[in-house]
Amino acid sequence: MQRSLKFEVFRYAAIAAFLALSLIPTLWMISMAFKPIAEWQSTGADLTWWPKNPTLDNFRFIFGESSSDMISALERTAGRPILASLLSAGFGTVIAMLAGTSAAYGLSRFGYGGNLPLALVQLRLFPPMAVMIPVMIMWAFLGLIDSWIGLALIYGIVTLPFAFWLMKTFFDDMPREIEDAALVEGCSRWRVFLRVTLPMMRPALASSALFIFILNWSDYLIALLLTTRDWVTIPVYMASLSSSMTGQLYGAKAALGLIAAVPPVIMGIAIQKQLVRGLTFGALKE
């Protein structure tokens, strides 16, 4: 009994230590976001963990409001990149989930598709640059360069394999007897899919959609290659926050990073119940 108690204490202490180490970058970003320029430029003994004089100047700066403490001026504010990220990541997630869920259901229930699963996996096997060069040429021909629609399309294509394999696993774990009972009652296959299967798959859809959205939301390489000015996303815009006089604008980057963390967190909280069920879907079987 005593030995078991010591083990539990050690386990929880190890978890707490690991959690503390994991949260250090996040806490440092939050602290940096509220520091004035004099503090986040300081080094050595002058560097402090918490801001001595908390300010919102970094947030005002990235949204174009003048600040006496900021030296450099922005070519563009953060409003358009935030909108570009929301549109491209959101619609890209919808495209990937629609196509991936449909393909996963068909393959799970009917077993057709030939080499479709392998073909989808191959989309992720090529080096990104080898794929993006022909995509850039095609998108330029179609007039989709520097547009959120072009980004949403390529995000949907790139994350389609993840949506497909995640949803196929969930469909394979779902009992088919429920669908068979609905078919016996006279429902069509399409009606069974919409009225029976998808409502039961809400936890799986929620967890898969969150994972796909985070992948699209945090992308840098594709957005860097397919956008130039009007529809740059948050990661691309964040990389441009620098000045010849002050160097990297770490305070402004931390403020933008804090804002960029809000949509995934809100989405995760909104689907929290479905997310927990989706992560454990099919874990317990008789």
The enclosing H or E element of 255 equals helix 250-260
What's the pTM value of the predicted model, to 2 decimals?
0.84
What is the structure's pLDDT at 26? 87
What is the structure's pLDDT at 95? 95
From 192, 217, 208, 176, select the one nearest 99 (Cα to Cα).
208
Tens of pLDDT along the chain (286 residues) come to: 556 777 778 888 888 888 888 888 888 888 888 888 777 766 655 667 787 888 888 888 888 775 555 555 566 788 899 999 999 999 999 999 999 998 888 888 887 666 667 777 777 777 777 788 888 999 999 999 999 999 999 999 889 888 988 888 888 888 888 888 888 878 888 888 888 888 888 888 888 899 999 999 999 999 999 998 889 999 999 888 876 555 678 888 889 999 999 999 888 888 777 666 555 554 444 4
The pair of three-digit structure tokens given for residue 183, joined into one six-digit string: 């078919």
SS (H, E, C) 152-187: HHHHHHHCHHHHHHHHHHHHHHCCCHHHHHHHHCCC
Q: State the Cα–Cα distance between residues 29 and 151, nearest whole angstrom.
A: 28
The pair of three-digit structure tokens given for residue 208, joined into one six-digit string: 């898969």
What is the structure's pLDDT at 267? 86
Q: Cβ–Cβ contacts within 10 Å for residue 182, how many?
A: 18
Per domain, the residue ranges of the chain are: 5-54, 79-283
Radius of gyration of the chain (CA): 24
Q: State the Cα–Cα distance between residues 222 and 93, nearest whole angstrom.
A: 15
Q: How many CA atoms lie within 13 A of 201 on its CB side?
A: 28
What is the structure's pLDDT at 97? 94
Q: State the Cα–Cα distance between residues 167 and 208, nearest whole angstrom.
A: 7
The pair of three-digit structure tokens given for residue 276, joined into one six-digit string: 């927990």
The pair of three-digit structure tokens given for residue 77, joined into one six-digit string: 């504010």
CB proximity list for 213: less than 8 A, separation 6 or greater: 89, 90, 93, 264, 267
The pair of three-digit structure tokens given for residue 184, joined into one six-digit string: 């016996």
What is the structure's pLDDT at 283? 46
What is the structure's pLDDT at 67? 55
How far from 231 is each of 68, 78, 83, 89, 155, CA to CA, in Å? 29, 11, 8, 12, 14
Domain 79-283 fold: MetI-like fold (1.10.3720)
Which runs of consecutive H residues, i.e. helices, occur in 2-147? 2-33, 37-40, 57-62, 79-110, 116-122, 128-142
What is the structure's pLDDT at 216? 94
| DSSP type of residue 248 | E
Judged on CB neighbours under 10 Å (0-12, 13-18, 19+), 19 is exposed
Q: State the Cα–Cα distance between residues 168 and 160, nearest whole angstrom.
A: 12
What is the structure's pLDDT at 152? 95
Strand partners, 243: 247
Q: State the Cα–Cα distance between residues 134 and 138, nearest whole angstrom.
A: 6
